[in-house]
A and B are shown apart, each in its own frame.
Chain A
Amino acid sequence: MAEVSHKADFFEASRVSVADLELRRKLENASGRHLEHVAAVRAAFPPFEAERDEARRIKQDAIEHLDEYLIALKERLEANGCVVFFAADAAQAREYILEVAKKNQVKRVVKGKSMTTEEIGLNNALMRTGIEVTETDLGEYIVQLRHEPPSHIITPAIHLSKEDIGQLFADKLHTPYTAEPEELTAQARTKLRSIFLGAEMGITGVNFAIAETGTLVVIENEGNGRLSSTLPEIFVGVMGIEKVIPRLEQVSHFLEILARTATGQKLTTYTNFINGPRRKAEIDGPREVHVVILDNGRSAMLADPVMREALYCIRCGACLNVCPIYRRVGGHAYNSTYPGPIGSIVSPNLFGSAAGHLPFASTLCGACRDICPVRIDIPRILLHLRWKATEGQNQLPWPAAARRARKGARRFASMARHPRMIRALAKIGSWMLRPLARDGWIRWMPPPFNAWTKIRDFPRPRPHSKRASSDTSA
C-alpha cells in the first residue's frame, strides 16, 4: 500500500529501474502502442482543440473562485442528502472515514480506483483497525495482492506481464495457472463479485463535483466504481478541493477530452452521476453518502500564482505516457502517489520536502505540456520549483547532485573570466580524460567529477579542440 513516505531518492531508484530491461520492455510495449492510438483518436475529433481551450477556461474560473464554488457545492450536496466533511490534511480525512466505518460497524470495504485515497494512506489506516479492504479495479487488485503501490495513474499494473499475474493469481487465489488475460479477468470477476455483495462500505475517488447540482461524477471502465457506489449501504467519495466544476453543462467539455487523452476512448464505459443516497423506495444506491473534501497542501498550491495551474489537472495520465523519463524508469522510482511529470510538480506540495527532489527528475523536453488536455505548462512549473529550491524561499531541500552541479557551474563561471587559464585547464583535462573513454564516451570520472558521470555520460574530448586552436589564432 502506498504510504506517504519518500525515503528513496529518485536518482537512486531510477538507476535500478532503468537497468531493468524487462520493466523497460513492458513500459515501452504498453505506452508506445497507446500513444499512437491516443493521437489518432484525438485527430479524429475535430472539436478537440476547442474543447481543450474551453475546459481550461472553466478550470481557471473554478480555481480562481474556488472558495465560492466550494460553498455552493457543500450546500447542494447537503440538499441532496450527502454528509460533507472538509479535511485540512490526510490525518483528518482518515480519522473521519474511520469514524464513519466504526459508527456503522463496517467490516468489509470495497474501493474503486482513487489516487486521493492513496495520497492519504487510507487503506493501511482502515486495515490497522481490522477492516478488510479490497481494491476492486483489476489493476489495483493485482498490485494489492502483491503488496505494492500502483505504478501508473491509469494502468496500475503496467509493470507486470500476464505471466507475472497468472503466477500471482495461482499463488494467492489458488486458481489454476493461466496467462490468458480473458481467463485471469474471469477469475478476478468471480472472486470480486462475492466481495462486492458482502461489503458494507464502498469508497471511490471523484473526477468532478458539480457545484450547481451537487453531483459527483465518477468515471471508469470496469464497473467497479459503479458497484462500489451502488451495492454497499455506505458510500464515501474522496476528492481534492480542486475537483469542483461550477455547472452541470460544463462537465461535457471535460468528458469529451478526458477519455480521449487517457485511454483513447471517446467516453469511458461508465460515467456515473451520483446524486446522493438512494431516495425513498429506491432499491439500490447507498443509504448514506459521505463526501470528504481534502485540502492537504492544495490551498498552498493555490497561493503560489505559478503553481496554481497544477490544480487544473484532471488526472488523465497522458503526461506519464509521453514522458521520456517515466517511460524508462516507471512509476515506482518516483516513490510518490503521483508519479511522472504531473507528480513531479504536485508531490513536493502534497508531501513536502520528502518529494523535493522530484522537480529535478525531468529533461524539460515539453512533451507533457503539449499533450496535457488542459494545457498545464508543466516545464514552467518544474523550473519554478527548481528556482524555489535553489534561489527562492528555500522551502524545498534540493538534491545533493544538483547542489554539486551548481557549485561546479559557479566555479566554471569564475574561471571563464580568465581565458588563458580555461585553455590550459581544457588541454590538461582533455589529456587526462581521453584514456577513460570507451566508444567515444566517458562513463566514469574520479571525484568530484563523478557527480556528472553518476547521472550522465561525458563525451570524449577531441584530440585537438578546434575551438581552442581558432581562439589562439584570433
Chain B
Amino acid sequence: MAEFHKLLARLKGALERPQAAPPHENHTAPAQVPVATVAHRAELASAFASELVDVSGHFLGNLTASEAAARVASLARESAAKNVMIGEGVVTRMSLFSAALEGVGCTLTKPRGLDKGQEKIRAAMIDNFANCDIGIAEAHYAIASTGTFAVMSAEARPGSLTLLPPVSVIIVNIDRVVANLAAALAAFGADTIATNRVSFITGPSRTADIEKRIVMGVHGPKKLYGAIIWPEHE
C-alpha cells in the first residue's frame, strides 16, 4: 500500500527520533472474574442499582432467576407487549423467561444465528426484531460505578436485542458485577474481540439536542429495565 508507506515516511520525518524506542508493553492477560464476598457483592449491587436509576434506568431488584422471569412477565402484561425477543443467556437459564412470557400470551422471537444460505433472509430477520415490543438480554458484566451493562454480541445474542425494541430488559449475574470500567475491560481481556461487538450500555437511548433538554428513546430503547440475578440459595 503505497499511500501507507508514504504516510509512515511523513510521520517518521515529522517525529525525527534519533532512534526508535518502542514502548510496547506486553499484552494484558485476561483476568479472572473476581469472586467477591457476599458483603462486597451486596455493596456492588447496591451501587449499580443507584447508578442505573441515576441514568434513568429502572432497577427491577436483586432477584433469583425465577423471580426475575415473573417480574418481566408481569411487565410484559402491564405494557400489553405482544412480541418479545429473547437472547441466549450467558450463565442464566433463559428458558425460565420464555416460559413465563408464553404464560402471559407473548409471541417469542429467539434469534439462533444464520445458517448457510440464510444471508438473504437477514433483512427480514432484522425487520422482525425491529417489530418486537421488548428485548431481553443477559449482559456479560455490569459496572457498579457507572450503572453500565457490558453486552457482548453473539449469533444467538445479536446486538439488536438491546437496540431495536423500544423496551430493553437486561439481566446480569451477581458474580459479574464489577467495580468500574477498567475492571470490566480486564475481565473481558482477549475475549473483547471474540465477536463483532461489545456494547457498554448506560441507561436508555437519550438526546439533549433540543435546547439541551434530556429526552429518552431517540433511536434506541425508550425504557431500560435492569435486574441482578442471585443464586436461589443466598
CB interface residues, B 109-126, toward A, < 8 Å: 111, 113-115, 122, 125-126
In the complex with contacts A222-B220, A269-B204, A155-B195 CB distance below 8 A: no
- Residue pair B213, A181 in contact (C-beta under 8 Å): yes
A284-B159 contact, Cβ under 8 Å, with A88-B7, A271-B199: yes
Contacts of B22 in A (CB 8 A): 65, 68
B173 within 8 A of A: no
Contact of A282 with B181 in the complex, beta carbons under 8 Å: no
Known A88-B3, A222-B205: A278·B196 in contact at CB below 8 Å: yes
Chain B residue nearest in CB terms to A212:
B27
Docked-complex contact B7 and A161, CB < 8 angstroms: no
Q: How far is the CB of B104 from chain A (nearest CB, A)?
A: 26
The answer, yes or no, to whether B153 is at the interface (CB within 8 Å) is yes
Q: Please report the C-alpha to C-alpha distance between residue A185 and residue B220 in the assembled complex, in whole angstroms.
A: 12
Are B153 and A285 touching (Cβ within 8 A)?
Answer: yes
The answer to the question of A142 belonging to the interface, with a C-beta cut-off of 8 Å to chain B, is yes
A-B pairs under 8 A by CB, number: 246
Report if A49 contacts B (CB, 8 A). Answer: no
Count of chain A residues near B, Cβ 8 A: 92
Given contacts A230-B197, A248-B185, is CB(A161)–CB(B160) below 8 Å?
no
Contact size range, B: 35 or more
Q: Report yes or no: A64 in contact with B202, Cβ–Cβ below 8 A.
A: no
Q: Give, as a whole number of angstroms, the nearest-CB distance from A28 to chain B.
A: 12
B181 touches which of A74, A85, A246, A255 (Cβ 8 Å): A255
CA of A197 to CA of B202, assembled, Å:
24
* Contact across chains for B195 and A226 when beta carbons are under 8 A apart: no
A299 — nearest CB in chain B belongs to which residue?
B10
Decide if B6 is an interface residue (CB 8 Å cutoff): yes
Stretch of B13-21, B36-44, B95-103 with 4 or more beta carbons under 8 angstroms from chain A = B13-21
Distance in Å: Cβ of A198 to nearest Cβ of chain B: 9
Binary contact readout B187-209 vs A (1 if CB under 8 angstroms, 0 otherwise)? 00000110111111111111111
Question: Is the beta-carbon distance between A273 and B55 smaller than 8 angstroms?
Answer: no
Q: Contact mask B148-168 → A, CB, 8 Å, 1/0?
A: 100001110011100100000
A184 part of interface (Cβ distance < 8 Å): yes
Q: Which residue of A lies closest to B3 (CB)?
A: A86
A185 contacts which of B186, B199, B210 (Cβ < 8 Å)?
B210
Given that A157-B210, A284-B126 are contacting pairs, would A270 and B200 also be in contact in the complex, using a CB cutoff of 8 Å?
yes
Q: Which residues from chain B contact A227 at a C-beta distance below 8 Å?
A: 163, 219-220
> Does A181 lie within 8 Å of B199, measured CB to CB?
no
6 contacts between A and B (CB under 8 A): A34-B212, A88-B3, A139-B207, A181-B215, A197-B126, A269-B204
Interface residues of chain B, those whose CB is within 8 Å of chain A, are 1, 3-4, 6-8, 10-15, 17, 20, 22-25, 27-28, 51, 55, 111, 113-115, 122, 125-127, 129-130, 143, 145-148, 153-155, 158-160, 163, 180-182, 185-186, 192-193, 195-213, 215, 217-221
